Chains A and B, each alone.
Chain A
Amino acid sequence: MNKRIRSFSATLSSVFLTLLGLTIVTFMIGRVMPVDPVIAAVGDNASESVIAQARIEMGLDQPLIVQFFRYLWQLLHGDLGMSILTRNPVSTDIARFFPATLELATAALLLSAAIGIPLGVWAAVRQGKFVDQAIRVVCLAGHSVPVFMLSLISLLIFYATLGLAPGPGRQDVIFDGMIDPVTGLLTIDTLIAGDWDAFRDAVAHMAQPVCILAYFSMAYITRMTRAFMVDALKGEFVITARAKGLSASTVIWSHAFPTGAVQLVTVLALTYAGLLEGAVVTETVFSWPGLGQYLTVSLMNADMNPVVGATLLIGLIYVGLNLIADLLYRVLDPRVR
């Protein structure tokens, strides 16, 4: 027990150090950019005295270390500064854009894991057979076809030609502003409001980007699952399990799979983090108002506060998901407890 507490506190302190590093890096990004935040704030045409005045007001005349602690202090109060482009506090913007990405990423992860894991297991069990080769080809295509191409083809077929899917965006114009943003996740908000039409509309809008994102994640998850399972199936304990007279499905799912599942946790965590980062290309093609788009548009306009804020959030996601994966490891594998 004591050992467990000690290893847990070791994990926590490493998380703390990572977070500290993350704040230093994001702080530095804001300082080394060739964009003067003062001029960005007051405009190009401001007079010398206004600029000097603003510089003092923004605390940019202070030494770097002082600025860093000010930055930390603001962070701890949830203050990420203002966005010049949207004229909103960055935290408000992120609270508006992030749920769109969260919704997309979560749906894509669930879909890709639900398909990718069984597919990977199947490929491993039928290693070298036709099924394995077929799955390999499907995954290879997932890795190698560019996202924007797949997205555009999908829009062309299902939206423009067949009219089966709705166009880009998160919802139809008629539902705009009709749903109270409680969680920011449209599928859940529409359910809370009890508006079935709006729910169907939200799901329909998600279908295409989710499927395309899921396809790419699935390709990765399938290949990794296959690799872990091929390894696990070689284990002597699989022979033992078969010698016990267990059915093939029991041998595969309750003996071979759990030993590989441990490694799968990391794969899923990293996939989820990658998806949450905001798939810029997919979000752009589908006009999805998510984090990736927010970050890119801000960057293009040299609007540094949102860039730093979004980077910080993405960093936090990675740290958080790694922490969860780490804790899950302990639950799933008795050898690392």
Chain B
Amino acid sequence: MLVDIQNLRIAFESRSSRFEAVRGISLSLGAEKLGIVGESGSGKSLTARALMKLLPSNAAITADRLSFDGIDVLSASEKQMRQIRGKRAGFILQDPKYSLNPVMNIGRQVSEAWRTHKGGSKKQALEAAIHLLDQVKIRNPREVAASYPHEVSGGMGQRVMIAMMLAPDPELLIADEPTSALDATVQAEILRLIEELVSERNMGLILISHDLPLVSHFCDRVAVMYSGRVMEELKASELLNARHPYTKGLLNCMPSLTHPRDRLPVLNRDASWLTA
């Protein structure tokens, strides 16, 4: 089992208050594609960041088990985590405009990821970076390597991000809303690219999104989250047969081009979901 999460809880504490954002999540993942969907604030990103131990210092994490390939993440030292981050698990963030370093050129950012885990000279690393940029289907990798993040488009930036995170050949890729900041036409391209690379390398994928049909299209399994809990976990192909009222509600309030409706239903949230 690549990822094993049992009863994960994440709380934010200040001097006067405590807010529990993730309330007992259990998930597991092998070399497969898991989609996590849910509305904003449902705890999808926090769960993914907890696995990489990339949460802000005021977040209190507890879990019965939080492990990556048998390594206990909760008790792992910063040094041990650095052997997981990048090297064994890549993490793609939402908007390349902010997630790439604005004052470092793209070649250096990608080659740095390669060199940190694989060693070698700067020149070798740059060649490897250019090869990686080529793998994510950038047509002029040398030119792109020499440019800065603000000089490339959002889609191109996200390709760079993917190249950077795949550089050390990780076993798991976590993509945290990798396409929300992109145009609709580019979204599909980027997801197809991720899907292709993940399948090619036989990696595990956690795809976080709030786009249900998109996720069900690209993943094997889907976990639906609401308010810090997993409401329902099901096979992507069986999404339309979802049993939980929240999932049904989400599916029901999606507009459809083929069956237009005058008025979309409003999602009814039931307080009993949170205590179940």
Q: Which residues of A are in contact with B by a Cβ distance under 8 Å?
A: 235-237, 239-248, 254-255, 258-259, 262, 332-335
Contact = CB atoms under 8 A, between A and B. Distances in A.
A133 B173 CA distance: 39
Interface of B: 49, 52, 54, 78, 82-87, 90-91, 93-95, 98-105, 112-113, 116-117, 148, 150-151, 161, 164-165, 168
Nearest to B82: A245
B82 A332 contact: no
A333 B99 CA distance: 17
A131 B207 CA distance: 39
Contact of A258 (B85, B91, B104, B116): B104
Contacts of B105: 334
B103 A240 contact: no
Contacts of A242: 54, 85
Nearest to B167: A244
Contact of B83 (A243, A245, A246, A335): A245
Nearest to A243: B91
A332 B103 CA distance: 8
Contacts of A333: 102-103
A234 to B, nearest CB: 10
B230 to A, nearest CB: 24
21 contacts: A236-B98, A237-B99, A237-B101, A240-B93, A240-B101, A242-B54, A242-B85, A243-B54, A243-B85, A243-B90, A244-B85, A244-B86, A244-B112, A244-B113, A245-B84, A245-B85, A246-B86, A246-B112, A259-B101, A259-B103, A334-B105
A255 B93 contact: no
A67 B168 CA distance: 73
Task: Give the interface SS of chain A, mostly helix, strand, loop or mixed.
Answer: helix
A335 B101 CA distance: 12
Contacts of A259: 101-103
A247 to B, nearest CB: 7
Contacts of B91: 239-240, 243
A169 B49 CA distance: 60
Contacts of A239: 49, 54, 91, 93, 99
Contacts of A245: 82-87, 113, 116-117, 168
Contacts of B54: 239, 242-243
Contacts of A244: 85-86, 112-113, 116, 164-165
A255 to B, nearest CB: 5
Contacts of B93: 236, 239-240, 243
A332 B104 CA distance: 10
Given A239-B91, A245-B85, 8 more contacts: A236-B99, A240-B100, A242-B54, A243-B85, A243-B86, A245-B168, A254-B104, A335-B102
Contacts of B98: 235-237
A244 B103 CA distance: 17
A241 B101 contact: yes
Contact of A334 (B99, B150, B168): B150
Contacts of A334: 102-103, 105, 148, 150-151
Nearest to B151: A334
A70 to B, nearest CB: 49
Nearest to A129: B57
Q: Which 6 A-B pairs have the closest CB atoms?
A: A245-B86, A243-B91, A236-B98, A245-B85, A334-B148, A244-B86
Most buried by A among B83, B98, B151: B98
Nearest to A261: B103
A243 B103 contact: no
Nearest to B174: A243
Contacts of B95: 236
Nearest to A246: B116
B103 A258 contact: yes
Given A236-B95, A237-B102, A334-B148, A243 B82 contact: no
Nearest to B113: A244
Nearest to A257: B103
Contacts of A241: 101
A333 B102 CA distance: 8
A262 B93 CA distance: 25
A190 B105 CA distance: 45
A129 to B, nearest CB: 9
Given A237-B101, A258-B103, A332-B103, A247 B82 contact: yes
A244 B54 CA distance: 11
